[in-house]
Structure 1
Amino acid sequence: MLKQALITILKTKAPMNLVIEGLSKTYPNGTQALKGVSLEIPTGMFGLLGPNGAGKSSLMRTIATLQDADAGSIHLGDIDVLNEKPKVRQVLGYLPQEFGVYPRMTAYQMLDHFAQLKGIKNAKERKATVRALLEQTNLYRERNIKLGNYSGGMKQRFGIAQALLGQPKLIIVDEPTAGLDPAERNRFHNLLSEIGEHMVVILSTHIVEDVTNLCRHMAIIHKGEVLLKGNPREVVEAAQGKVWKKMIAKVELPQHQQQYNIVSSHLFDGKVIVKAFGDECPDESFEASIPDLEDVYFSQIKAKEEATNAQIPNQIQE
């Protein structure tokens, strides 16, 4: 009953698109973290996929009003995110990569404290809200356990509970499943999927499988630039007939990496399965492989790395 009541509350909030245009950010040390990023993110789960250092956290922190941009704009509905930060914070739920808790407080005590900070002053309303959120995140039975005794997955679910306070219209979660065991990861996926039916949820991650399983829309970002955006299924369909695989001995890997456009490799039964990306089969020793999002991801990252490396000699000459 409480869980259904919470879902009803979430549904009553009018959906909003998040529109990012030409966003750039350079840090004082000269690192250009964002380079003209433009994205339109609708209601639902949106996957922001990229390796560590790609600019994902810089983008999330800027959207979450924790840092300013050098150029560009962000709008959440009719809210100017960069210039109306108090308004954004009223409708934002944020679960950063590093989420701290008071280890000696129980989940109930801490969530009640957060609810007061969010402006829920009425004790009866606050009690009902806290209970509903703990039910929603499957933590109600563990509500009186101190947070210091929570597992990693339980802490992440608690993080989502606090992010849902105040009926947000935008939820940002940064690398939420890193370090979770498979069972906790599955629970967290189910929770995010349910939440994502009613609001904009941005999932920032380097785990390709999370985006494949959860998101209707996605973008690949690397070195501060958006390399690809679209629907994960359609992105994979576009790669049909472009992925080729072969099993080789480990000692052959360097030669294959030099000779072919190898985008990924992994060990299997003491040997290495390599995957090449291209419009044509590299040679008769390769066979066609059914593509997945990981193949597309690795091909995009490699192409960006090669383009960046090709620019370095020209920059040195200049």
Structure 2
Amino acid sequence: MELRLQNLSKTYPNGVRALQGVSLTIPNGMFGLLGPNGAGKSTLMRTIATLQEPDSGSITLGELDVLRQKDEVRRVLGYLPQEFGLYPGISAEVLLDYFAGLKGLRDGPARRAAVESLLHQTNLWSARKKAVGGYSGGMKQRFGIAVALLGAPQLIIVDEPTAGLDPTERNRFLDLLSEIGENVVVILSTHIVEDVTELCPQMAIIAGGEVVATGSPSDVIGEIKGKVYRTKTEKAALAQLRQQYEVISSKLVAGQPVVRVFSEEPINKVFQPVEATLEDVYFYRLAQRERAVVA
């Protein structure tokens, strides 16, 4: 199964161009869609999930035309949006059984078996009698993925699933996604670089509604390999450094700014060459996109 996006564009009535000629080929396995808030990720996810129409372009999932065969696509789709509502006073077991019925699992024994299996898979079995309104953020996300997995979908979309989770819940959720992504197409839409680095053999970076990089994380990192340098500086010198060099990022380490810059050629001895990371590529591509818009 392969998902193909060709030249998708979407402009909202207020004039915001959310998607601009997006083309991607997404194979089986985990695929990371990395971008900042407002980059167009959620618009793209909703479009793939048949929840809104693009202005132009096409989407195919295997032999299915996603934009014309919405009902068929929904039968093989699992979707975990960034925000989703639950009935807080109902137990996970009862609520998941209800969603299973909506998904088309009509046979009682088969439906109960599916619910039990998913509660075990998402590590919610011991809390199955508890009302979902009392769940932690991570437990709610795991319940959401259980809902998305109903009916053995061939395409699963998860939108910002680890935002706000503590480290333990984040790791548990990522492990779950990794298991799921072995046999189906799973799109992980996120602004968290580590999620993509740890999980996804293929990825894309989106900014301003455009795909600005795509490939494996190692291939994407290879584009700036040997061109990233690091130095410590003083806060008062940051503005001057930004004028002199192509600054990728800066952050405080023990109260002192540490700056990473991109350069085609070695810089003076104040800067030390460092291994490029996916985070470097991410910030570099976003900065490139911003400069292109300003120009």
Shorter-chain TM band: over 0.9
1:99-118 paired onto structure 2 within 5 Å:
99-118=84-103
Q: Structure 1 length normalisation: TM-score?
A: 0.92
- 2:170 aligns to what? 185
- 2:196 aligns to what? 211
- 2:28 aligns to what? 43
Q: Distance in 1 between matches of 2:110 and 2:249?
A: 52
* Pairwise CA distance, 1:281: 2.5
Per-residue CA deviation, residues 219-267 of structure 1 (Å, 9 max, x unaligned), is 0000010000000022223322110000011121111112111010110
Matching of residue 202 in structure 1 with residue 187 in structure 2 = yes
AA at the equivalent of 2:181: G
Per-residue CA deviation, residues 106-135 of structure 1 (Å, 9 max, x unaligned), is 000110000000111111111100000000
Q: Distance in 2 between matches of 1:250 and 1:209?
A: 27
Contact kept, 8 Å, 1:44 with 1:196, in 2: the verdict is yes
Secondary structure at the counterpart of residue 157 of structure 2: strand
AA at the equivalent of 1:231: S
Q: How many residues align?
A: 295
Aligned match for 1:91, one of 66, 70, 76: 76
Matching of residue 28 in structure 1 with residue 8 in structure 2 = no
* Pairwise CA distance, 1:164: 0.3
Q: Distance in 1 between matches of 2:87 and 2:37?
A: 28
Contact kept, 8 Å, 1:170 with 1:201, in 2: the verdict is yes
Q: Distance in 2 between matches of 1:282 and 1:104?
A: 61
Contact kept, 8 Å, 1:260 with 1:282, in 2: the verdict is no
Q: Distance in 1 between matches of 2:273 and 2:213?
A: 23
Aligned match for 2:41, one of 36, 48, 56: 56
Contact kept, 8 Å, 1:177 with 1:185, in 2: the verdict is yes
* Pairwise CA distance, 1:270: 1.4
Q: Distance in 1 between matches of 2:35 and 2:127?
A: 34
Moved more, 250-259 or 265-274: 250-259
1:186-265 paired onto structure 2 within 5 Å:
186-265=171-250
Aligned match for 2:58, one of 58, 70, 73: 73
Matching of residue 128 in structure 1 with residue 113 in structure 2 = yes
How high is the sequence identity, in percent, across the aligned residues?
A: 60
Secondary structure at the counterpart of residue 183 of structure 2: coil
Question: What stretches of structure 2 of length at least 5 have no aligned partner?
Answer: none
* Pairwise CA distance, 1:91: 0.4
Per-residue CA deviation, residues 259-285 of structure 1 (Å, 9 max, x unaligned), is 111010110111010000121123331
Displaced runs of 4 or more, over 6 A: none
AA at the equivalent of 2:236: V
Per-residue CA deviation, residues 9-38 of structure 1 (Å, 9 max, x unaligned), is xxxxxxx10000010111111111000100
Matching of residue 268 in structure 1 with residue 253 in structure 2 = yes
Secondary structure at the counterpart of residue 219 of structure 1: strand
